[in-house]
C-alpha cells in the first residue's frame, strides 16, 4: 500500500466521528436493527422451511391443491410474496422511524462540515 493510500485510510471525518458518538446516532442504529434483524431471521427460517420441506417432506410438497397446483408451487410463490411484503413493511418502517432520525443527523453533519 502506498503512503498516500495509507494516510487516506487512517483519516477520519471529525464531524462524522462526533455524530457517531451521539445518542441520536445510537438511536438510529438501534431502530434499524429492531426491524432488520428480526425480519432477516424470520425470512431465513421461512426460506429454510421451504428448502427442508422440498428435500425431506416430498409427499407433503407434492400434495395437489387445485388441479396441477401443489404445495411446493404455492410455497415457492409465497417466497416472492414474502420478499415483496418485507420490502413494503421496511419502506413504511423506514419512512416512519428511520428517515426522521437520519435527516436530523444529516442536517447536523452538513452544519458541522460548513463550520470546518
pLDDT, one tens digit per residue, over 42-58 is 999 999 999 999 999 99
pLDDT, one tens digit per residue, over 15-30 is 888 998 999 999 999 9
More confident residue, 23 or 116: 23
Using an 8 Å Cβ cutoff, are 82 and 50 in contact? no
Res 37: pLDDT: 98
Cα–Cα distance measured from residue 19 to residue 106, given in angstroms and rounded to the nearest whole number: 9
Average pLDDT of the segment spanning 37-46: 98
Cα–Cα distance measured from residue 36 to residue 30, given in angstroms and rounded to the nearest whole number: 10
With pLDDT > 70 as the criterion, what percentage of the chain qualifies? Answer: 91
Q: Nearest Cα to 25, choosing from 14, 37, 16, 12?
A: 16
Amino acid at each position: 500500500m502506498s503512503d498516500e493510500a495509507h494516510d487516506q485510510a487512517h483519516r477520519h471525518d471529525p464531524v462524522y466521528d462526533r455524530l457517531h458518538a451521539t445518542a441520536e446516532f445510537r438511536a438510529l442504529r438501534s431502530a434499524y436493527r429492531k426491524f432488520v434483524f428480526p425480519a432477516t431471521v424470520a425470512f431465513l427460517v421461512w426460506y429454510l422451511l421451504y428448502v427442508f420441506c422440498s428435500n425431506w417432506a416430498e409427499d407433503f410438497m407434492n400434495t395437489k391443491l387445485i388441479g396441477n397446483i401443489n404445495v411446493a408451487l404455492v410455497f415457492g410463490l409465497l417466497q416472492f410474496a414474502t420478499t415483496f411484503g418485507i420490502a413494503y413493511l421496511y419502506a413504511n418502517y423506514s419512512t416512519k422511524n428511520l428517515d426522521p432520525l437520519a435527516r436530523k443527523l444529516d442536517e447536523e453533519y452538513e452544519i458541522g462540515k460548513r463550520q470546518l
